[in-house]
Structure 1
Amino acid sequence: MVTGQAGRAAPRRWVVGWTGASGAVYGVTLVKELIAAGIQVHLVVSDAAWRVLKEEMGWDATKRREALLSGLGLEEGDERFVYHPQGDIGAAIASGSFVCEGMAVVPCSMGTLSAIAHGSSDNLLARAADVALKEGRPLLLVPRETPLNAIHLENMLKLARLGVRIIPAMPAFYSGPQTLDDAVRFMVGKVMDSMGIPHRLYRRWGEPDDQA
């Protein structure tokens, strides 16, 4: 918990970004799990991500707020969720004075990763990531691209040296996934591990099968 005005305890908060990389289900699942865990999510979605949400999830990109609430199973006014349009560069999350625990970009396109690596914060998503860096807060990126070229790898190395956690979308198979949802849950669980948020999304190595 963080302390808000007049010393009141404010809810735990994370900023989450969705970009135009394939794998929209990772981001959607993460937000659902964070909200279920009592985390207040401040979400920013790139224009390219809306195209992917339409293609991969069947969401109506012409009615964005309605699509988000429906897709995430939320009601209007739910204080656990705040949506910020990518063009709203004056949003609260664009300022270092906005208190949160960190930011995760899931999935993270190579274009967004490059913008973050080079400080090119010309939209809210990239600016929020820049704020996480400058304030020394955790920044987690889940790149989804293959094959990777030298520019991609150099950008990841640059960010990793700055303390950014790079979590490629590489589901493991030791837990015996039976469905695509199992593989998604594994990746989201790895992200939440890096966030320090307890979960039971996948069976950890050495755990009995009934512990996942």
Structure 2
Amino acid sequence: MTKPLILGVSGASGLIYAVRTVKYLLQAEYNIELVASKATYTVWQAENNIRMPPDPQQQEQFWRQQANVITSGQLTCHSWQDVGATIASGSYRTLGMVIIPCSMSTVAKLATGLSSDLLERAADVQLKEGRKLVIVPRETPFSLIHLRNLTTLAEAGARIVPAIPAWYHHPQTIEDLVDFVIARTLDQLDIDCIPWTRWQGS
């Protein structure tokens, strides 16, 4: 079985990034271990007027319904409080971890080595084990504190992929812009499962 990919979702605006990442990874039959932070519940309510269920098994069905992928791939959801979960241990082997979207609060905690919940602990594990950690910050503008924290994480080995789309692929919809960011994010893990047109040269 393919090693799982950890998908972290923190309390930054832009849950469409997380939903479409789940969609494409499941369609490509990836094994996803998903953990959403406590603040994500608030963001779901604010952005979509939807309540995300707290029970991990109900969350699995919730994310599948939002992504409109009911049977493909493997999805396991974890409670943000479950610091004893598999993904909290370095002995649990993974492909790496993506945090999309990533709040500046989460960035700050990771940059200072704090692990107050499962999402932060799982990310800290990727860094200490030398595995791939990809962070997709969704904030603007960045303060000097934000930039310094992101620099600290980059120096520690994380890849920083800001949620900044491009236009050379001639996007026609919001989803096209979102998918560009997701494609460039998954490129950092050598995962190519997004239908989009790469730069072909001028």
What TM-score comes out, normalization by structure 2 length?
0.91
Cα deviations by residue, 1:157-196 (Å, 9 ceiling, x for unpaired):
1111111100000000111111101101111111111110
1:155 matched residue in structure 2: 149
Aligned pair count? Answer: 198
Cα deviations by residue, 1:4-51 (Å, 9 ceiling, x for unpaired):
xxxxxx223100100110111101111111111121000000111122
1:34 matched residue in structure 2: 25
Bigger drift between 67-76 and 111-120 goes to 67-76
Q: Is the 8 A contact 2:96 2:131 kept in 1?
A: yes
> How far off is 1:199 after superposition?
2.6
Letter of the 2:178 partner, please give it: V
Letter of the 1:52 partner, please give it: V
- Partner Cα separation in structure 2 for residue 105 and residue 170 of structure 1: 15
1:51-130 aligned within 5 A: 51-62=42-53, 65=59, 66-73=61-68, 75=70, 80-130=74-124
Q: Is the 8 A contact 2:81 2:117 kept in 1?
A: yes
2:12 matched residue in structure 1: 21
State, as a whole percentage, how many aligned pairs show the same letter: 40
Letter of the 2:162 partner, please give it: P
> Structure 2: any 5+ residue segments left out of the alignment?
none
Cα deviations by residue, 1:118-175 (Å, 9 ceiling, x for unpaired):
1100100000000000110000000000011010000011111111100000000111
Q: Is the 8 A contact 1:59 1:71 kept in 2?
A: no
1:134 matched residue in structure 2: 128
- Partner Cα separation in structure 2 for residue 201 and residue 186 of structure 1: 9
Letter of the 1:67 partner, please give it: F
**2:185 aligned with 1:185:** no
> How far off is 1:85 after superposition?
0.6
Letter of the 1:46 partner, please give it: S
* SS of aligned partner of 1:195: coil
* SS of aligned partner of 2:26: helix
Letter of the 1:55 partner, please give it: A
- Partner Cα separation in structure 2 for residue 144 and residue 187 of structure 1: 11
Q: Is the 8 A contact 1:60 1:67 kept in 2?
A: no
1:4 matched residue in structure 2: none
What TM-score comes out, normalization by structure 1 length?
0.87
> Structure 1: any 5+ residue segments left out of the alignment?
1-9
Q: Is the 8 A contact 2:11 2:39 kept in 1?
A: yes
> How far off is 1:75 after superposition?
4.9
Q: Is the 8 A contact 2:179 2:194 kept in 1?
A: no
1:3 matched residue in structure 2: none
- Relative distance call for 1:84 and 1:200 in structure 2 (3 A) is closer
Q: Which has the higher contact order (CA 8 A, sep 6+)?
A: 2
Query: Looking at CA atoms only, which structure, 1 or 2, has the larger radius of gyration?
Result: 1
